[in-house]
Amino acid sequence: KAGRRRKDSLRLSGHRHACHAMIFASCPDKVFGKIPVRYAVLMQMRFDGRLGFPGGFVDSRDGFLEAGLNRELSEELGLQPGLLCLTEREHVLAHVLPLHRDRPVVAHFYMRELSLMQLRDVERAALRACEYGAEVMGMVRVPLYTLRDGVSGLPAFLCNSFAGTAREQLLWALAARRLLPPGRLREACEIARVPVP
Ligand code: GTP
Ligand code: MN
Ligand code: MN
Ligand code: MN
Ligand code: MN
Ligand code: MN
């Protein structure tokens, strides 16, 4: 487990906390009938034109981190409270982001694997989320393959703009859960000229 632990990060004073989650599912689909998709990994196109994970700032009414995360997930994914309830057990990373409006932010990251059917339900519900069309401009799945031109697919995706440290979180998750072979991941990072996790 890289970065700060959940418990240690809660002792920091004067920091804001933000929680984001990667929801993913194993996916048997093939692109053009031959290139394995491997996993459906959910991200979103945000209001600011950057890609990020669903989630957001924890605030004083939330009480604890996961209450804030689950509130943000219901606002941004339109989930009935309880349908996709993340817990402390799914916390995988915490690290400090550069200053945001003169206060440092601790970015907490969670991962939850669903069945492909459940993930499709999450995608459908997102269209009816209260923040859809406002904070959230669309749900996207991350391409995990590289096409024969050597750039299209994951390398091209990694060249997008990402909110905060979302790209680092994505790469960390792909490596930690081995969602694609380490060699392929390294190659994609090198082509995109982004640090290898
Ligand atoms: P508001 O309600 O408008 O404040 O948005 P929010 O609560 O949904 O917060 P947001 O999701 O924008 O995230 C809060 C902070 O984390 C901002 O400083 C973002 O730049 C940053 N951020 C946004 N998405 C991600 C992400 O996926 N990963 C990381 N590490 N940071 C992110
Ligand atoms: Mn077509
Ligand atoms: Mn939000
Ligand atoms: Mn958000
Ligand atoms: Mn918010
Ligand atoms: Mn908001």
Model confidence over 98-142: pLDDT tens digits? 766 678 899 999 999 999 999 999 999 999 999 999 999 999 999
Residues 163 and 141: their CA atoms lie apart, in Å, by 16
Q: Is the CB of 55 under 6 A from ligand 1?
A: yes
Residues 153 and 166: their CA atoms lie apart, in Å, by 18
Query: From the alpha carbon of 47, which atom of ligand 1 is closest?
Result: 12
Query: Ligand 5 centre from 16 Cα, in Å?
Result: 12
Query: Ligand 1 centre from 98 Cα, in Å?
Result: 13
Task: Please state which CATH class domain 6-144 belongs to.
Answer: alpha beta
Q: Where are the domains of the chain?
A: 6-144
How is residue 48 written in tokens?
A: 């600011």
Query: Ligand 5 centre from 18 Cα, in Å?
Result: 9
Mind listing the pLDDT tens digit for each residue in 48-59? Answer: 999 999 999 999
| Ligand 1 pocket, mutate which of 62, 71, 111, 135 (most atoms under 8 A from CB) | 135
Closest listed ligand to the CA of 31: 2
* pLDDT of the residue at 51: 98
Q: Is the CB of 72 under 6 A from ligand 1?
A: yes
ipTM higher than threshold 0.90: yes
Mind listing the pLDDT tens digit for each residue in 22-67? Answer: 999 999 999 999 999 999 999 999 999 999 999 999 998 998 999 9
- Close Cβ partners of 142 (under 8 Å, ≥ 6 residues apart): 41, 42, 43, 154, 157, 170
